[in-house]
Amino acid sequence: MLDIKRFLLTTALFFVVLLNTEILFAQTIDLFAMQDAQDKKDTKDKTDIVTATFKTTRLINGQSIENVGRGILDVKISHRFGTLNSGAYNLFGLDNASMRMGVDYGITDRLMVGAGRSTYQKQFDAFLKYRIIRQSTGKRYMPFSVSYAASIALRTLDDPNANTIQKWYTDRLSYTHQLIIASKLNDFTSLQVMPTLIHYNSVPLAKNPNDLISVGVGFRERLSKRVNLTGEYYNQVTQLEGYFNSLSFGLDIETGGHVFQFHVSNSTGMTDKTFITETTGQWEKGDIHFGFNIARVFTVKKKKEIN
């Protein structure tokens, strides 16, 4: 009698427990809740690298913090027209154009190189740019990005005094070293500061220093999904006589696979040393050049797994 009672009690308990465990398990493995919890955790634990601080690798004349991606070849053709104040006879500068043709290539996601030829002073130039620090949010918080850019420019335009003064082709060389510090404040605004050192192998006068220091500042402000306003200004700390600080404003217009940059500037040249230290135009006198950069990217190295 007692055994039957005990048996019944145990069986009843068994079913109660069974029921309970089932409910318990249904609650434990709820993937939806698990996923929500993980999402919250991920935002804290993952580092998210900030991208698209600027729209392309050039702010206007100078370098921006951006690099082209690994295996991407970027062909750039840039034009600067004559000055606005040259009158209707020259169609406000459009009759005169200075051009730079160049190619940029991304060796790694952090390192890019480029080379170009400008009609202005018949210059050849080459540069490299390396991303040292990348702005990020999440687990590793970094409020800004830092890149180092170095360029070399060779002026091949015949010098009228060549027979008397110049002896070596190295006299025509100049070098630029630049630190680029940039921060994307939000989806709309990015800022950039560029301390710059330019070294001339040969300067016009003996009293001129060979090393010139400048500090550049730049910004990007998003106007719409496709249009960004940009600005760039270089303040020369030490400078050659007769030259002015470069000031430019531009619009970056995104058209599918490429970015079209349209701008106004008081600089004609497009190599670092030319627009930073050899800007001849003055805004207040109307020495303003219209200009544009067009770029077309080609994928040299494809990521295999996509197609």
Partner 1 sequence: MKRILLSFLILALSASAIQAQKLFATKKGQLKFNATGGVEAIAAVNNQVDSKMVDKTGQIVFSVLIKGFKFDNQLMEDHFNENYLESTKFPKADFKGFILNAASIDFSKDGKHNITAEGTLTIHNVAQKVSVPGTLTIADGKLSVMASFKIKIKDYGVTGLYIGDKIAPDAEIVLNCKYD
Interaction site with partner 1 (CB under 8 A):
6, 9-10, 13-14, 17-18, 21-22, 25-26, 29-32, 34-35, 38-39, 43, 46, 48, 51-52, 68-69, 72, 106, 187, 225-226, 254, 256-259, 297, 299, 302-303, 305-307
CB 254 within 8 A of CB 238: no
CB of 7 to partner 1, least distance (A): 10
CB of 183 to partner 1, least distance (A): 15
Residue 164 token pair: 């008397």
CB of 119 to partner 1, least distance (A): 27
Taken in order 113, 110, 56, 153, the sign of the CA dihedral is negative
CB of 87 to partner 1, least distance (A): 38
**Of 72 and 197, CB closest to partner 1:** 72
CB of 72 to partner 1, least distance (A): 5
CB of 1 to partner 1, least distance (A): 16
CB of 225 to partner 1, least distance (A): 5
User: Among residues 181, 205, 193, 172, which one has the least CA distance to residue 271?
Assistant: 172
CB of 214 to partner 1, least distance (A): 29
CB 74 within 8 A of CB 295: yes
User: Side-chain half-sphere of 199: how many Cα atoms within 13 Å?
Assistant: 8
**Of 25 and 148, CB closest to partner 1:** 25
**Of 242 and 256, CB closest to partner 1:** 256
**Of 159 and 254, CB closest to partner 1:** 254
Q: Hunting for tokens 């040259």 — which residue is that?
A: 86
**Of 51 and 164, CB closest to partner 1:** 51
**Of 74 and 278, CB closest to partner 1:** 74
**Of 26 and 88, CB closest to partner 1:** 26
**Of 48 and 171, CB closest to partner 1:** 48
